[in-house]
Amino acid sequence: MVKKKVEVLVAGGGTAGVIAGLAAARGGANTLIIEKQRCLGGQFTVGMQGAWVGFSDKEKVIVKGIAWELRNRLHEKNAMVEDDPETDVCFLYDPEIAKVVLDEMVAAEPNLSVFLDTSIVDVIMEGDKVVGLIALSGSELTEIRAQVVVDCSGDAVVAAKSGASYEIRPKKDIQPMTLMGKMAGVDIERVKEYYKENPPVVDHMVPPAWREFKTFPGFMHYGLHDELKDVELPEDLEYLRSWLAIFTSTPNAGEFTINCSGAIEAHSIEGFGERTKQEIFSQKCLYDVATVLKRYVPGFENAYLTSIAGLLGIRESRRIEGDYKVTLDDFLEAKDFEDSIGRGAMPAGVHTPDGITMNVYNLEPGKSMTIPYRCMLPRGKDGIIVAGRCVSYEAPVANCIRCMPQCMAMGEAAGVAAALAVKSGVEPRDVDISKLQAKLRANGAII
CA torsion 167→171→176→178, rounded to 10°? Answer: 100
CA-to-CA distance for 422 and 146, rounded, in angstroms?
A: 10
Inter-residue contact 356 to 242 (CB < 8 Å): yes
Identified binder of ligand FAD from the candidate list 402, 421, 422, 446, rule CB under 6 A: 402
| 378 is an interface residue for ligand FAD by CB under 6 A | no
| 111 is an interface residue for ligand FAD by CB under 6 A | no
CA-to-CA distance for 155 and 391, rounded, in angstroms?
A: 9
Identified binder of ligand FAD from the candidate list 31, 43, 56, 162, rule CB under 6 A: 43
Question: Please, which residues bridge with residue 344 across strands?
Answer: 369
| 152 is an interface residue for ligand FAD by CB under 6 A | yes
Identified binder of ligand FAD from the candidate list 30, 111, 178, 437, rule CB under 6 A: 178
Stretch that binds ligand FAD, among 57-65, 138-146, 292-300, 400-408 (CB under 6 A): 400-408
Interface positions, 259-278, toward ligand FAD (CB under 6 A): 259
Total residues in contact with ligand FAD, by rule CB under 6 A: 36
| 37 is an interface residue for ligand FAD by CB under 6 A | yes
Site track for ligand FAD across 180-219, x = CB under 6 A = ----------------------------------------
CB of 301 to ligand FAD, least distance (A): 26
Q: Nearest CA to 164 among 429, 411, 437?
A: 429
CA angle, corner 45, sides to 257 and 284, nearest 5? 45
Contacts of 413 (CB under 8 A, 6+ apart): 23, 341, 342, 371, 373, 376, 387, 436, 440, 445
Contacts of 28 (CB under 8 A, 6+ apart): 111, 419, 423
| 407 is an interface residue for ligand FAD by CB under 6 A | yes
Q: Which amino acid is at 96?
A: E
CB of 306 to ligand FAD, least distance (A): 18
CA-to-CA distance for 371 and 373, rounded, in angstroms?
A: 7
| 404 is an interface residue for ligand FAD by CB under 6 A | yes
| Residue nearest ligand FAD (C-beta atom) | 14
Binding site for ligand FAD (CB under 6 A): 12-17, 34-37, 42-44, 49, 51-54, 119-120, 152-155, 157, 178, 259, 313-315, 388-389, 402-404, 407
